[in-house]
Amino acid sequence: MSARGADSVIERDDPVVVYRTGVLYEADMVAEALERAHIPLFRRVETLGGLSTAMPVSPPPGLLPGSFWAIAVPGKWARRAVRFIGKLPVTQQLPATHRMPGVRDLFQGWTWLFVLAILLAVAWTIFRMYRG
């Protein structure tokens, strides 16, 4: 088989996020358990906007709101990793998107009233400034 033929045989195996949490020790527990089970993994930090970067070697204990610690595995290992994580004593809810859980609730009700009050205060200040 030629080198070109060998390249076409290699399958593309994109990473799949199998665990996402806002708590560092849970991410560490999952990563360590997967390493002991010899499941390849990637430690990531995900933000509200969908940006994903490698987890730093010495991560801070807290994150900005809307950021998550994430554990990703190669696609062919995803099912095995999810079953394995299901047996661990960690939070089992995996947010389906990169968005912070409850973001819709955050921007309803009192938050909109607060934003409206700030906008009215700014508009009133500008009005008084140019009024003379």
Amino acid at 16: V
Under 8 Å between Cβ of 94 and 85: no
- Those residues with Cβ within 8 angstroms of residue 103's Cβ, 6 or more apart along the chain or in another chain: 48, 66
Domain range list for the chain: 7-100, 102-132
pLDDT digits (tens, 9 = 90+) for 27-49: 889 999 999 999 999 998 887 76
pLDDT digits (tens, 9 = 90+) for 71-103: 999 989 999 999 999 889 888 875 554 444 455
